[in-house]
Structure 1
Amino acid sequence: MSLPMTAAEAPDLARENVVFRKVVRRIVPFLVLCYVFSYLDRVNVGFAKLQMSDDLGLSEAAYGLGAGLFFIGYFLFEVPSNLMLQRIGARTWIARIMITWGLVSASFMFVTNEVMFYALRFLLGAAEAGFYPGVILYCTYWFPSHRRARVIAMFMSAIPVAGIFGNPLSGWIMDRFQGVNGWQGWQWMFLLEAIPAVIIGVVTLFYLDNDVRGAKWLTEDEKAVVERAIADDVAHQTVHGRVWDAFREPRVWLMCLIYFCFVMGQYALTFWMPTFVKGTGIESNLTIGVLSAVPFLAALVAMNLFGRSADKRRERRWHLVVPSLMGAVGFSLAAGWSGSTVLSLVALSFAAAGVLTCAPLFWSLPTAFLGGTAAAAGLAVINSVGNLAGFVSPYMIGAIKDATGSTSLPMYVLALSLVVGAGAVLTTKKQVVNR
């Protein structure tokens, strides 16, 4: 590993900026494309629900359970998957993940009962396990921590992009292809939206590089600039070494709590947004798709503005606390405005802007102190434990909706979760996370 350069040897900041812009242009748009289809295949079940629940006789709780079972498979296979990525390389492993999840996602078109629905949701989680934390780990190979918040925010722009384009697309497919070849619209949706994941997975084998040294599109001088920046960053990390070092680190478990609180809100939006919008009196699937894209558009703007600001000021904690409280306010307002389409969209836009902004900014916290093999394990632990909220959140909403006929109470629970997450962020040490 290269040692950090002295002040006399340090490359000109303008030169470094040029090199990292080149790295961003090469890597980030492709990773965003991958994540758009990853997220779409993960959450398009929210749109399928509009038709599938009646066809299969699914209750609200049964749908919520099936949506959440994805995260049980995700939880069980997350750490092994991330360790495999570090061992055999990002290019091969990310390609494997994408091809596998594409095939499983397409298989949903054959679901005929609750058991098949539950089984495939579990398998989809197992297939996709490791993609998200793998990409976060991959970013640490290419970007120092003070450049990472903006990069991860760009990567996670895929979530609102998937909502902006995926929701109208899903609604259009379900309306346009209903009854074609004897299949339901939701069956066509699962098939057509899975195909790009398989294609991009094959492309990944030829496009991604495992590390800086293997990048033929960088000159030797440019590689040296990146490697020196990474080496300087590694010198500030405090947890390295073996896999079990991550499990023994108290800060890892604090990160799990914070991320769990944020994910509660994130998947409430992505799995239930079409249902929330339909509950205001909208019937057309395409119209539901267009309207449910509005909150994700607000989130796309907010998450990139906060990401740029966090990197510019090298401040993390308050850039997390503020959007998490925004999300809490948005959910609280949505609970009282559920009878109005316009007011609901305003509240949900506020909630989405806050909740989805938290995730990219959050990852600058653990990557500031985790390094080496401990980073591969630690990031996977945080992501897998945090994503258990993806099981709790949709199932909670479905169960309460079945019992009360309303989504107001779950909204307040989600708001409280975000407040708890904001409080936990404030317990982190300023000197560790603000670099």
Structure 2
Amino acid sequence: MSKGYRWTILGLACASIAVMSLSVLIYPPSIPALMHEFDTSYLAASLPATLIAVPGILFSVPVSISATKKGVRLWGSVSLACIALGSTTVFVAPNFPVILIGRFGTGFGAILFIIVPLSLSHWFDAKSRALAMGAFVASSSLVNALALSMAGSMVTSFGWRSTFLLTSLVAMLVFGCFLRWMREAESSHDRSAPPSQHKRLSNLFSLDMWKLSLVWLLSNFSLSAFLTWYATFLVEVKGAELGLASILAGMVMLSGVPVAPLAGWISDRLGRRRVIIVLSLVAESFLYGLAALVEGVAAVVTVLALGVFIGIVASLIFALPREMFGAERAGLSLGLMNTFLNLGTFTGPSVIGLVKDLTGDFLIGFWIVSICCTLAAALAYLTKAQ
């Protein structure tokens, strides 16, 4: 297959991960409406945001091994189908437990966070890999921003169920495109049997693989907590209108759209990915705390700046597994990273919701988010990444 087909694969990858991002971030603006309709606590309201991470926690490593052996087309199709079915379940849900079931089913789409980077790492070489990862991160960031921005208005105008109907329809469309045009890279068929067939699985996990995954856990703990609760914080504490609060929360992903591919392109040529990641995480730590304190124009600038560094970290960290662990263990590393990503996504919103229930104060939660980013920076510095 021609080398030019990799751009078709990149387009499918961007569309697929955009669907997953839409399914995750379409929920937070619905929290006030769901709390009112179903009379839930803050902790209970965080469950639809956290249950979506459970399938990724349970199945990321087994799926990464299977995808390394059998290719990514099968599991990518399964992921998109689960997003469509899960979102439809939430749309028609008669009560809160059914919403939880639907969000759990949607969570199988988190497998896309293994499939997309694994596919791109096979189609793009070291000279363009971070650029491709940056484009994939940019598409996710753009949809995150749009989801948070438009969902508040959709909830106000059409009710919270309309957002899940939209997600289901988009997922069905991308599912059809994925089945039609997704192909495996020739290099992925040339590999010998994965080492998991010859060695004990425990021997494949190096210390750096765990460090990199912990960095990703802490980073996503902070991001998921912020994205889930920032709009609600603005409404309840700052007195903002829901639509405007959702737009401001969405801006955290918007500024990463142009930055992520650019950061990937620069790092492909300069290297030093570890230093850039560490400095970006330190900046995130400061900006998460600042976002809870400032208002007006200062809040807009802070959130946009935060999004820049989030985009940089994501575009570079997905390029590291292939470079640090080789083609044979890249899928396994991405599987472990995805497990930890989902652990962060699972615990972040719940911890902040629980802190709010116990203390009545959102600010303590934002300090926790900031501290987690500082720890992530320290761990990233200790890895042996370039």
TM-score greater than 0.5 by the shorter chain? yes
Q: Which residue of 1 aligns with 2:224?
A: 267
SS of aligned partner of 2:179: helix
Deviates more, 1:131-140 or 1:242-251: 242-251
SS of aligned partner of 1:172: helix
Q: Per the alignment, do residues 376 and 246 of structure 1 end up closer, same or farther by CA in structure 2, a change over 3 Å counting? A: farther
Q: Per the alignment, do residues 386 and 247 of structure 1 end up closer, same or farther by CA in structure 2, a change over 3 Å counting? A: farther
Q: Which residue of 2 aligns with 1:170?
A: 151
What letter matches 1:197 in structure 2? Answer: A
Within the candidate set 314, 322, 335, 1:380 is matched to: 335
SS of aligned partner of 1:130: helix
2:74 equivalent to 1:92: yes
2:290 equivalent to 1:330: no
Q: 1:144-202, CA deviations, whole angstroms, 9 ceiling, x for partnerless residues?
A: 2342112111101123211332223323322332xxxxxxx111211122111112112
Deviation at 1:31, TM superposition (A): 1.3
What letter matches 1:380 in structure 2? Answer: G
- Find the aligned partners of 1:352 and 1:272 in 2 and give their Cα distance: 16
Deviation at 1:38, TM superposition (A): 1.1
What letter matches 1:194 in structure 2? Answer: S
- Find the aligned partners of 2:313 and 2:152 in 1 and give their Cα distance: 28
Q: Which residue of 2 aligns with 1:212?
A: 186
Q: Which residue of 2 aligns with 1:108?
A: 90
- Find the aligned partners of 2:7 and 2:345 in 1 and give their Cα distance: 31
Matches within 5 A, 1:408-427: 408-427=363-382
- Find the aligned partners of 1:428 and 1:100 in 2 and give their Cα distance: 35
Q: Is the 8 A contact 1:261 1:417 kept in 2?
A: yes
- Find the aligned partners of 1:62 and 1:332 in 2 and give their Cα distance: 25
- Find the aligned partners of 2:357 and 2:73 in 1 and give their Cα distance: 44
- Find the aligned partners of 1:243 and 1:130 in 2 and give their Cα distance: 23
- Find the aligned partners of 1:259 and 1:240 in 2 and give their Cα distance: 27
Q: Per the alignment, do residues 240 and 347 of structure 1 end up closer, same or farther by CA in structure 2, a change over 3 Å counting? A: farther
Q: 1:340-374, CA deviations, whole angstroms, 9 ceiling, x for partnerless residues?
A: 24333332223232234212211222221323553
Q: Which residue of 1 aligns with 2:123?
A: 142
Deviation at 1:23, TM superposition (A): 4.7
Q: Which residue of 2 aligns with 1:14?
A: none
- Find the aligned partners of 2:35 and 2:93 in 1 and give their Cα distance: 11
- Find the aligned partners of 1:291 and 1:427 in 2 and give their Cα distance: 34
Deviates more, 1:158-167 or 1:194-203: 158-167
Unaligned runs of 5+ in 2: none
Q: Is the 8 A contact 1:277 1:292 kept in 2?
A: no
Matches within 5 A, 1:345-364: 345-364=300-319
Percent of aligned pairs with the same amino acid = 21
As a proportion of its length, which structure holds more helix? 2
Q: Is the 8 A contact 1:240 1:370 kept in 2?
A: no
- Find the aligned partners of 1:99 and 1:248 in 2 and give their Cα distance: 31
2:109 equivalent to 1:128: yes
Matches within 5 A, 1:276-425: 276-279=233-236, 280-285=238-243, 287-337=244-294, 340-425=295-380
What letter matches 2:170 in structure 1? Answer: P
Deviation at 1:384, TM superposition (A): 0.6
- Find the aligned partners of 1:291 and 1:267 in 2 and give their Cα distance: 15
Q: Which residue of 2 aligns with 1:45?
A: 27
TM-score between the two structures when normalised by the length of structure 2 = 0.90
Deviation at 1:203, TM superposition (A): 1.6
Q: Is the 8 A contact 1:153 1:360 kept in 2?
A: yes
Q: Per the alignment, do residues 47 and 242 of structure 1 end up closer, same or farther by CA in structure 2, a change over 3 Å counting? A: farther
Deviation at 1:320, TM superposition (A): 0.3
Q: Is the 8 A contact 1:82 1:133 kept in 2?
A: yes
Deviation at 1:114, TM superposition (A): 3.9
Deviation at 1:258, TM superposition (A): 1.3
Deviates more, 1:375-384 or 1:296-305: 296-305
Q: How many residues were matched structurally?
A: 382
Deviation at 1:243, TM superposition (A): 6.9
What letter matches 1:360 in structure 2? Answer: S
- Find the aligned partners of 1:117 and 1:246 in 2 and give their Cα distance: 40
2:206 equivalent to 1:249: yes
**Root mean square deviation, CA, Å:** 2.7
- Find the aligned partners of 1:79 and 1:138 in 2 and give their Cα distance: 16
Matches within 5 A, 1:46-61: 46-61=28-43
Deviation at 1:259, TM superposition (A): 1.2
Larger Rg computed on CA atoms: 1
Deviation at 1:25, TM superposition (A): 2.9
Q: Which residue of 2 aligns with 1:221?
A: none
Deviation at 1:393, TM superposition (A): 0.8
Q: Is the 8 A contact 2:284 2:370 kept in 1?
A: yes
2:74 equivalent to 1:74: no
Q: Is the 8 A contact 1:108 1:120 kept in 2?
A: yes
